[in-house]
């Protein structure tokens, strides 16, 4: 007989099967236990498909009656694209439901739990809550703000340079670190770079992993529409590309860029306001955004207070040179009292490089 924590840990592991696949839904895992035996398990794998509880209850069949169900998110109680899980659990006649964390979605928030309790089902809340909240930090952020969870990524030399003074940057970090970056791309709804990065690197911003992986939407911040017409992001047709421009760009210039994979997003202002951009992206169901540079774009996200996580890679190389660019350019903070403060969540070695993950303190 395992403890509640052990079964919830199992459900959390199973939930991870859906990472990067379920947007705009959360990832959820469920485990059904009857007389100390695991009789069913399930994960939510894609928005619109059955929820984790449905898969687990189906697998348990008759044994679900009188069973205990461990689920990493409060069972839903609304009719979305799928019928409510709370009702299914009640109809199935489960005895007890152990939930890691409540669902902040206003359609659910506490209603699922109330429904279960009203039907006489014993409900236990908060088992492995920390881990469950961390697992769905993107979904919870999106539900709360209707804007994408923003991860800012850069790669630099040990002396903090993202390119040489002549603009060369291939490569700073190793294959292993760059593959790690592609894993981040594969689980994001969209990836964003500034037009200077497009001009300097002509990046494809696609996912090239041995195991494959879907390509995020490619977003280019390009106030005056200077993206070269023959750039990969325009020509290669391997992923959708949205170019964000200011209001002064003429209609006929925009037409030259648009094709079935490329669209121009024109914000109402001459310059790109990051907060407004995130609101528009949120409306377009972008729940997670991976900002890959360059230094001016990074600074504008930081100045807008719009960064939820920073992933920084440092290579054991010295580039030097006063003119060589650093990860965060733009205006920066003039006074130490105003700098962006973070807490470091992860430090690890990747091949010859190191990777640091940090989150803003105010979060």
In angstroms, what CA-CA distances link 11 with 31, 69, 278, 290?
Answer: 6, 10, 32, 27
Helix (H) or strand (E) holding 115: helix 111-118
Q: Does 82 bind ligand AOF (CB under 6 A)?
A: yes
Q: Is 242 annotated as a binding residue?
A: no
Question: Which of 10, 11, 28, 278 is close enough to bind ligand AOF by CB under 6 A?
Answer: 28
Q: Does 189 bind ligand AOF (CB under 6 A)?
A: no
C-alpha–C-alpha distance, residues 49 and 1, integer Å: 32
Within a 10 A sphere around the Cβ of 167, how many other Cβ atoms?
A: 13
Q: Is 353 annotated for ligand binding?
A: no
- 53 counts as catalytic: yes
Within its chain, how far is the Cα of 266 from the centroid?
Answer: 24
**d(C-alpha 339, C-alpha 178), whole Å:** 28
Query: What character string, x for contact with Zn ion (CB under 5 A) and - otherwise, covers 191-220?
Result: ------------------------------
If one asks whether residue 20 binds ligand AOF (CB under 6 A), the answer comes out as no
The reply to whether 169 sits in an annotated binding site is yes
Closest CA to 136 of 315, 267, 5, 16: 16
Which of 13, 37, 53, 348 is the catalytic position?
53
Binding ligand AOF (rule: CB under 6 A), the pick from 20, 26, 325, 329 is 26
What does residue 110 show for φ and ψ, rounded to 5 degrees?
90, -20
Candidate residues 85, 128, 132, 244; the one interacting with Zn ion per rule CB under 5 A: 85
Q: Which of 18, 26, 246, 293 binds ligand AI9 (CB under 6 A)?
A: 293
Three-state secondary structure call for residue 34: strand
Yes or no: say if 310 and 358 are a contact pair by the CB < 8 Å rule.
yes
Establish if 226 lies at the interface with ligand AI9 (CB under 6 A): no
Q: How far apart are CA 232 and CA 202, in angstroms?
A: 6
75 binds ligand AOF (CB under 6 A): yes
Q: Is 56 helix (H, G, I), strand (E, B) or coil?
A: helix
Considering only the stretches 51-59, 66-74, 221-229, 308-316, report the one whose residues sit in contact with Zn ion under the rule CB under 5 A.
51-59
Residues present in the chain in total: 363
Build a one-symbol-per-residue string for 196-215: x at contacts with ligand AI9 by CB under 6 A, - elsewhere: -x---x-xxx----------
| Sheet strand arrangement including 122-125 | 37-43, 29-34, 68-71, 96-99, 122-125
80 binds, among ligand AI9, ligand AOF, Zn ion, none (CB under 5 to 8 A by kind): ligand AOF
Write out the residues near ligand AOF by the rule CB under 6 A.
Answer: 25-26, 28, 44, 47, 51-53, 73, 75-76, 80-82, 85, 103, 105, 108
Binding site per annotation, positions for NADP(+): 155, 169, 171, 197, 201, 223, 294-300
Q: What are the residue numbers of the active site?
A: 53
Residue ranges for the known binding site for substrate are 185, 205, 208, 292
């Amino acid at each position: 007989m395992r403890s509640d924590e052990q079964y919830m840990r199992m459900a959390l592991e199973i939930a991870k099967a859906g990472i990067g696949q379920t947007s705009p839904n959360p990832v959820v895992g469920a485990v059904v236990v009857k007389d100390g035996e695991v009789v069913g398990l399930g994960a939510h794998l894609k928005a619109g498909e059955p929820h984790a509880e449905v898969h687990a209850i189906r697998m348990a069949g008759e044994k679900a009656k009188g069973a205990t169900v461990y689920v990493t998110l409060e069972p839903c109680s609304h009719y979305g694209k799928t019928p409510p899980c709370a009702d299914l659990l009640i109809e199935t006649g489960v005895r007890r439901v152990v939930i890691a964390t409540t669902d902040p979605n206003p359609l659910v928030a506490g209603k699922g739990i109330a429904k279960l309790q009203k039907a006489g089902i014993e409900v236990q809340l908060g088992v492995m809550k920390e881990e469950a909240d961390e697992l769905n930090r993107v979904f919870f952020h999106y539900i709360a703000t209707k804007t994408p969870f923003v991860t800012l990524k850069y790669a630099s030399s040990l002396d903090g340079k993202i390119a040489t003074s002549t603009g060369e940057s291939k490569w700073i970090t190793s294959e292993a670190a760059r593959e790690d970056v592609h894993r981040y791309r594969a689980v994001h709804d969209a990836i964003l770079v500034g037009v200077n990065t497009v001009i300097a690197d002509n990046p494809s911003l696609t996912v090239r992993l041995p195991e494959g992986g879907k390509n995020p939407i490619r977003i280019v911040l390009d106030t005056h529409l200077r993206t070269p017409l023959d750039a990969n992001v325009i020509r290669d047709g391997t992923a959708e590309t949205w170019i964000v421009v200011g209001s002064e760009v003429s209609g006929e210039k925009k037409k030259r860029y648009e094709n079935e994979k490329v669209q121009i997003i024109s914000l109402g202002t001459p310059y790109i306001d990051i907060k407004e951009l995130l609101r528009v992206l949120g409306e377009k169901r972008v729940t997670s955004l991976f900002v890959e540079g360059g230094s001016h774009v990074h600074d504008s996200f930081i100045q807008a207070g719009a960064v939820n996580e920073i992933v920084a890679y440092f290579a054991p190389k010295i580039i030097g040179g006063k003119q060589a660019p650093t990860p965060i350019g733009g205006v920066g903070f003039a006074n130490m009292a105003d700098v962006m403060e973070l807490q470091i969540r992860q430090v690890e070695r990747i091949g010859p490089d190191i990777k640091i993950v940090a989150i803003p303190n105010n979060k």
